[in-house]
Amino acid sequence: MPGAGVATAGAGAADGPAAGAGAAEVGVADAAIRGAGAAEAGAAEASTGAGAGAGSAVEDPHVVAWREAYRAFGAKPQRTRPSVDALLRRADALPAINKVVDAYNAISVQYRLPVGGEDLDAYQGPARLIRATGDEPFDVIAGGEPAVEHPSAGEVVWRDDAGVTCRRWNWRQCVRTRVTESSKNVLFLLERLEPYSLDRLQEAGEDLSARLRAISPDVRIQSRLIGGA
């Protein structure tokens, strides 16, 4: 029977990336909040329920904080945008991928925070947030073929024992851990920086849990806050 782990990551201020965003590095700490998510087949158009237009990202304080965090580790947020920034800019026409991905994308837009989903069965060892050395493998599809790239040295990344699972904190996910229609155990990461409130973060996690139960009534969900004060 499927289950879901919802980890809400409460990192500090925008300059937090210096050490891997504080305790978020405990990163789901063996988090294996195992008993994780259910990705059912079929795509559904995501509904944000927030009326967020494409221009709503420009002055949002939380999105601005994420852009500053990206600059702090050498990324250019106009070129490689934080995930919430990219989604808000196309909020009026979010792509339909599958029910679970559509659900957490909708949460990201509605609550204006980065949300990611990871297939835990594809993981090797625990997830952790680190600064890359630059030689870690990051698997992608290039020209229709599997390929391996590498992050920049000093870049903030999520990784497991096999390599990088998400580059530039929440910009781009690897192929290996993507949530698909066949995923059974999933870890969801909801990430915040100041000035985003922990109460709002918790509310987003509860909303995501409710949407997952609507998709799969038998889903088992465990939730925890990592790195929050």
Place 58 in a pLDDT band, splitting at 50, 70 and 90. Answer: confident
The mean pLDDT of 9-34, rounded to a whole number, is 31
pTM score, whole prediction: 0.80
pLDDT tens, residue by residue, 184-220: 999 999 999 999 999 999 999 999 999 999 999 999 9
**Cα–Cα dist 49/109, whole Å:** 9
Calpha distance 141→147 (Å, rounded): 6
Q: How many domains does the chain have?
A: 1
pLDDT of residue 57: 77
The domain in which residue 29 lies consists of 3-226
* 101-123: b (≥16 Cβ within 10 Å) or e: bbbbbbbbbbbbbbbbbbbbebb
Q: Check residue 12 and give its pLDDT.
A: 39
Tokens of 96: 């339909």
88-113: pLDDT as tens digits: 999 999 999 999 999 999 999 999 99
Residues facing residue 54 across a β-bridge: none
Query: For position 187, which CATH number holds?
Result: 3.50.40
